[in-house]
Amino acid sequence: MDSSGIAAFAVAVREINPDVSNVERIDQISALEGLKSAVCAAQAVISIDFENAVRDERRRRGVPNERLSKGVSAQIALARRESPNRGGHLLGQARMLVDDMPNALELLRTGVLNEWRTSLIIKEIICLDREDRRYIDEQLCADPETLRGLGDKRVRGKAYALAVERDCAAIVERAKKAPGQRAVTSRPAPDSMAYLTALLPMKDAVAVHATLSRDADTIICTHDVVERSKNQIMADLLVERCTGAATATTVPVGVVIVISDEALLAGGHEPAHAHGYGPIPAALARDVVADAIENDAAVTLRRLYSKPSSGSVTAMESTARAFPKSLATLIDLRDRWCRTPYCNAPIRHHDHITPHHAGGATSEHNGAGLCEACNYTKETPGWSARTDGTPGQLHSFELLTPTGHRYRSTADPTPRPLDVERRAS
């Protein structure tokens, strides 16, 4: 089935008959779940066929071996509407399935495994050599009944047990290297909250949690605490011990909030944007500013001009090769995240959409904020980008891949300033 046939089949799936019995509805749900798994298996096989074809073509052109797969996972990510990082994981998973795990691939095709549970197996055996992976694939996936009906934990547990049995030294070595991946990250949560996540060695994570829990219990026992739960006290203790301040409003770390003049000064309701977080209600943004002023924190007001009609920022240009700090800041505030479609990684590079060596200006219109990986990918042969739209409208550019596919990236509007003409009328 070619791409047009697949598209036609997708249209047919949308037209499922709703006038059926509940028994049929459950059968439909089950059949669609199996279809999802079969589609994932097909994507894995096609992805490897695509990578192999690209590598063969580049090898004929004399491209060095270390660059044969450059940009392949980024193209797959765009096609699957995933981030480049996720695209790399999906391609690696596909390679293991096709090369080393034919039985798992068949269980994915037939719906016994879904893509997530397949990935759990792969994570447990990825550190083993090819012979061991094939052995575990045979033991775990040759008979469909071995995994049928098992949940995530049991599937992962079986894979881990076989990995330890097959090569305990490799598992121990991986565990020794794991602390090198320790990190602290944050990501948005509902209701203008955020998740702060620490990936730590098990003993450290347990010690941190146990200490916070112990000290929260002490506070509860020695103070008349009625307004805070234990979890709330633990969260407050974490903030205090990390920042040295009793409340986050007194922490001497900059929080950049983009808010319209109307929302800040005239009680407007257009959402503000907290840089590195996302949109927040205007009222909450005003509270953050007011709390900072009340606690004598340094508050800086920087004017960012945008058009009331579109929310696009005004143009700014430089004759320098690199983006000046003020222009880079403007691009950061406009783009917010990496502008490659579906990426959303933090901005690390300020890229000339039309390259500087090709006459591209160092300007707001020709600039885009990209993460490091996406910027390097864009510089590989066959990739290009070009601005579209016009200055004064929402910033937009088109990304072209080596296969000729086009993907548009459009910046979100900034909070609109007070429309004086509209208010006067």
Question: HSE on the CB side for 379, CA within 13 Å?
Answer: 14
Q: Which residues pair with 362 in a beta bridge?
A: 318
Question: HSE on the CB side for 119, CA within 13 Å?
Answer: 12
Q: Angle of helix 22-60 relative to helix 72-79, nearest 10 degrees?
A: 150
* Residues 41 and 109 sit within 8 Å (Cβ to Cβ): yes
The closest alpha carbon to 54, from 42, 63, 41, belongs to: 63
The domain containing residue 390 runs over which residues?
Answer: 317-410
- Assess if residue 99 is contained within a domain: yes
- Assess if residue 287 is contained within a domain: yes
Q: What's the pLDDT at 385?
A: 93
Shared domain check, 60 and 134: yes
Residue 327 identity (one-letter amino acid): L
Shared domain check, 358 and 257: no
Shared domain check, 163 and 61: yes
Q: Return the structure tokens found at 407.
A: 């993907």
Shared domain check, 373 and 335: yes
Shared domain check, 131 and 74: yes
- Assess if residue 9 is contained within a domain: no
> What is the number of other CB atoms lying within 10 angstroms of the CB of residue 179?
12
How confident is the prediction for the chain on average, in pLDDT?
A: 86
Shared domain check, 174 and 131: yes
Residue 400 class from Cβ within 10 Å (0-12 exposed, 13-18 middle, 19+ buried)? middle
> How many domains is the chain built from?
3
288: CB partners within 8 A, 6+ apart? 249, 255, 257
- Assess if residue 348 is contained within a domain: yes
Q: What's the pLDDT at 413?
A: 83
Shared domain check, 167 and 36: yes
- Assess if residue 215 is contained within a domain: no
- Assess if residue 233 is contained within a domain: no
Cα–Cα distance measured from residue 141 to residue 120, given in angstroms and rounded to the nearest whole number = 13
Shared domain check, 338 and 271: no
Residue 351 backbone phi and psi in degrees, to 5: -105, 140
Q: What's the pLDDT at 368?
A: 93
Of 153, 180, 207, the residue at which a domain comes to its end is 180
> Does residue 405 sit in helix, strand or coil?
coil
Q: What's the pLDDT at 253?
A: 47
Shared domain check, 322 and 288: no
* Residues 341 and 399 sit within 8 Å (Cβ to Cβ): yes
- Assess if residue 248 is contained within a domain: no
422: CB partners within 8 A, 6+ apart? 308
Residue spans of the chain under pLDDT 70:
224-225, 245-255, 276, 292-321, 389-392, 417-425
Q: What's the pLDDT at 356?
A: 84
| Chain position carrying tokens 């900059």 | 254
* Residues 77 and 87 sit within 8 Å (Cβ to Cβ): yes
Sign of CA dihedral 414, 420, 423, 425: negative
Shared domain check, 145 and 52: yes
- Assess if residue 51 is contained within a domain: yes
Of 270, 301, 332, the residue at which a domain comes to its end is 301
Q: What's the pLDDT at 224?
A: 67
Of 272, 301, 330, the residue at which a domain comes to its end is 301
Shared domain check, 157 and 30: yes
Shared domain check, 267 and 131: no
Q: What's the pLDDT at 419?
A: 62
